Amino acid sequence: MAKKTVVVADDQPGIRRLLSEVLNSDEYALLEAASGEEAMEMIRERTVDLVFLDVRMPRLDGVETLREIMQLYAHPPVIVITGQGSPDLAKRVKKLGAAAYLEKPFDIKLMLNLIQQYT
pLDDT at 84: 81
Structural domains counted in the chain: 1
- Answer whether residue 85 shows pLDDT above 80: no
Average pLDDT of the chain, as a whole number:
89
| Rounded Cα gap, residues 112 and 56, in angstroms | 22
Here the CATH number for the domain that contains residue 73 is 3.40.50.2300
Which letter does DSSP use for residue 73 in this model?
T
pLDDT at 1: 63
pLDDT at 93: 94
Average pLDDT over every residue of 58-86: 90
What percent of the chain has a predicted confidence (pLDDT) above 70?
99
| Rounded Cα gap, residues 65 and 77, in angstroms | 13
For residue 76, count CB atoms less than 10 angstroms from its CB and return exposed for 0-12, middle for 13-18, buried for 19 or more.
Answer: buried
Q: How many C-beta neighbours within 10 Å does residue 97 have?
A: 15
Determine the structural domain holding residue 63 and report its residue range.
4-118
Average pLDDT over every residue of 74-81: 93
- Answer whether residue 60 shows pLDDT above 90: no
